[in-house]
Copies of this chain bind each other. A is one copy, B any other.
Amino acid sequence: MMKPIGHFLWVIAEGYIPGQSFSQQKEFISHETACILNVCDKEAHIEITVYFSDREPAGPYKVNVPPKRTIHLRYNDLNVPEMIPRDTDYSSVISSDVPVIVQHTRLDSRRPELSLFSTIAYHNNL
């Protein structure tokens, strides 16, 4: 049995979904992803709050990660309680009831020459 790995609270200060994509094929659409790994034996109940520069935060967005599973969650797909606006600066805080690990990735395909980045998210040690 794997012992828990990770943290309960993560932050991705960068956030921006380009509104354009050179292709409408799913893997080439401009997107932002939070990769969330749950190595625990219990399901993780995740809540995401999205912060903006000029309005109140949105959320919480809720998603579950089954035990011993990973999800690569596209912010593009978050629709409840509201869609994440495109071409808009945001940040997100991700909390979980079991420890998880979060990595942040963007694919920018505004131009056909893709640009990708990825970074481990910030985790609070408290």
Complex interface: chain B residues within 8 A of A57 (CB): 68
Instruction: Judge if A111 is at the interface, Cβ distance under 8 Å.
Output: yes
Q: Is the CB of B13 within 8 A of A70?
A: yes
Q: Are B68 and A56 in contact (CB under 8 A)?
A: yes
- Within A52-105, the residues touching B (CB, 8 Å) are 52-54, 56-57, 68-72, 87, 89-91, 93, 101-105
Chain A interface residues toward B at CB < 8 A = 2, 5-6, 9, 11-16, 27, 33, 35-37, 39, 51-54, 56-57, 68-72, 87, 89-91, 93, 101-106, 108, 110-125
In the assembled complex, the CB of A79 is this many whole angstroms from the nearest CB of chain B, namely 19
Given contacts A39-B93, A56-B68, A120-B120, contact A13 B101 (CB under 8 A): yes
